[in-house]
A and B are shown apart, each in its own frame.
Chain A
Amino acid sequence: KQEVTQIPAALSVPEGENLVLNCSFTDSAIYNLQWFRQDPGKGLTSLLLIQSSQREQTSGRLNASLDKSSGRSTLYIAASQPGDSATYLCALLRAGNMLTFGGGTRLMVKP
């Protein structure tokens, strides 16, 4: 059974800091990995998707990496802003269209 762990569960940083969110998984037989953002009381917004054959994806200030051999993905946020405050979820797609989510990291960026 695929287990997905996100550390830390919560993070508070001052504005302007670069930060890294971690996601680890137990089963490397995945099709892709998706990073989502969820604002309080809202749905999930897809940020980045990394295919199994890829090692990283970039969008603006966000960079996500994937290392299947070690069962890890990281989401790097450069020059954090208060508007980045949200919960960030990683999710792995495996056989049977099963998307398995981590517990999320609650990020607070203080002005």
Chain B
Amino acid sequence: DARVTQTPRHKVTEMGQEVTMRCQPILGHNTVFWYRQTMMQGLELLAYFRNRAPLDDSGMPKDRFSAEMPDATLATLKIQPSEPRDSAVYFCASEDDGGYNEQFFGPGTRLTVL
């Protein structure tokens, strides 16, 4: 059945290390979002793409975060170097532009930076 997939599901790393999270959107969905969820801030939009082009990344710390869509079936979110304050759950979501702008979320990547 069609769903958004994310890898890895869990990641524990040390401060200063590079972290790459991957997302496979639902086939045919043209818009892909990256969100971050923390206890303090709740869910926040980091960036999103439409037809693989970045449209808004204003929610993302530019100095260490980068988001790309190498192709229509893969979105990546990279943190380099990682810091303890980056510990959070990172969600990817995709949306079908031809629909009602309904967003479908992946299971998330739980990142812990020590």
- Do A and B associate with each other? yes
Q: Are A104 and B42 in contact (CB under 8 A)?
A: yes
A70 to B104, CA, bound (A): 28
A2 to B55, CA, bound (A): 20
Query: A93 with B101: in contact, given A43-B91, A99-B45 (CB under 8 Å)?
Result: yes
Q: Which residue of A lies closest to B9 (CB)?
A: A41
Q: Are B103 and A46 in contact (CB under 8 A)?
A: yes
Q: Which residue of B lies closest to A48 (CB)?
A: B102
Per-residue CB proximity of A26-51 to B under 8 Å, as 1/0? Answer: 00000110101000011111100101
Per-residue CB proximity of B53-89 to A under 8 Å, as 1/0? Answer: 0011000000000000000000000000000000000
Partner of B102, one of A46, A89, A96, A101: A46
A104 to B42, CA, bound (A): 9
Q: Are B56 and A99 in contact (CB under 8 A)?
A: no
Classify the interface of chain B: helix, strand, loop or mixed: strand
Q: Are A46 and B104 in contact (CB under 8 A)?
A: yes
Q: Are B106 and A31 in contact (CB under 8 A)?
A: no
User: B24 near A: Cβ within 8 Å?
Assistant: no
Total A residues in contact with B, Cβ cutoff 8 Å? 23
Pairs across A and B, CB under 8 Å, 26 listed:
A32-B101, A32-B102, A34-B102, A34-B103, A41-B110, A42-B108, A43-B91, A43-B105, A43-B106, A43-B107, A44-B93, A46-B103, A46-B105, A51-B100, A91-B43, A96-B55, A97-B31, A97-B50, A97-B55, A97-B95, A99-B103, A101-B42, A101-B43, A102-B42, A103-B42, A104-B42
Shortest 9 CB-CB contacts between residues of A and residues of B: A44-B105, A101-B43, A43-B107, A43-B105, A49-B102, A43-B108, A103-B42, A93-B101, A43-B106
B residues apposed to A, CB below 8 Å? 4, 31, 33, 42-43, 45, 48, 50, 55-56, 91, 93, 95, 100-108, 110
Extra contacts besides A32-B101, A32-B102 (20): CB < 8 Å: A31-B101, A34-B103, A36-B105, A43-B91, A44-B105, A46-B102, A46-B103, A46-B104, A91-B43, A96-B55, A97-B31, A97-B48, A97-B50, A97-B55, A97-B95, A97-B101, A98-B56, A99-B33, A99-B45, A101-B43
